[in-house]
Structure 1
Amino acid sequence: MSKKKLSFVVQQHDATHMHWDFRLEMDGVLVSWAIPKGPSLNPANKRLAIRVVDHEFSYKDFEGVITGDDYGAGKVIIWDSGYYEPAGADPAADLHRSWLADGKLEFTLYGEKLKGQWALIKTKSKQYGEDSWLLIKKKDEFAAEEDILEKERKSVVSGKSIEEITEEDGTLSSDSWDEE
């Protein structure tokens, strides 16, 4: 029996502040975290990941400009994409309920830029409360000390950097979903 491949996407988002939106397919939606400093291949770097609203699954293909004056308005590129396998969980299981309630998600990424074993660990912060998580790269053959954000600056879809994106690449209204 073959397992269903679950999608993931990392969208670089130049909104009010530059950040990377890390999204995992779970139960037909994209469960999402905003990562202010972006992902790191260095296991010593624990990146703050703020849980934000779930997005429709089709949003994984969006690259372009989010219009409007809301917090989420700005340019978006698909910085990385691929699929992932949850560690110790059946992909057909209700990951939303089981993983998120446990506060610990372990998975293997098969992306163009991000590969190998990762974890999202729920934590608490005074500023973000229950929405605060840490994204951590596990020590494996894909771990590295280099700053992947400096090396890998282009979209895996269009080959454009965030600075090169225009409304001609696509638009989405910021009021088409709840604020991120």
Structure 2
Amino acid sequence: MVEKKSDSNLMKEVLSWVWTILLAFLIALFIRTYVFELVDVPTGSMLNTIQLDDKLVVIKFIYRFEPIKRGDIVVFKYPDNPSVNYVKRVIGVGGDIIDIKEGKLYINGVLQHEPYIKEPMVGNFGPYKVPKDHFFMMGDNRNDSSDSRYWAHKYVSKDAILGKVVFRIFPLSRLGSIK
């Protein structure tokens, strides 16, 4: 009789552990899918704002409560290959006309002050009219960035945006918010 009771207790203990592990897995899956995610930056297209190999926190639910704005740094599915995620800055929103003349960015005819870019931009691009519910993206390292200027599908749809980059967690020497 004692053996059966201990076998029963052992089975309850094992089931308790399985249930706890399963619940933890489901909570982690929910958080990663809907709340936030950590991403690595493998390229220098966002220098000097984001460095190579930075680890960033991406808030996924934020755009349920606020609109996507010019200047936001976002993670999105690359329009020419949706299996790849990119990190870029939102430059234009639906309805904007983006024009780059002699390396200077104009949005709706207004020259933009961009203190975050790595170096002065080179070239002429556009004009581009951003469709409704779409966005024009550029890296801060303008002269070394694969961005909306060069893609076959120039604009990122709202549905392709995975979240907003808000915080750098690694390396610790640069820990802090991203702007």
- The answer, yes or no, to whether TM exceeds 0.5 is no
Normalising by the residue count of structure 2, what TM-score does the alignment of the two structures yield? 0.26
Q: More helix by proportion, 1 or 2?
A: 2
Normalising by the residue count of structure 1, what TM-score does the alignment of the two structures yield? 0.26
Q: More strand by proportion, 1 or 2?
A: 1
Larger radius of gyration: 2
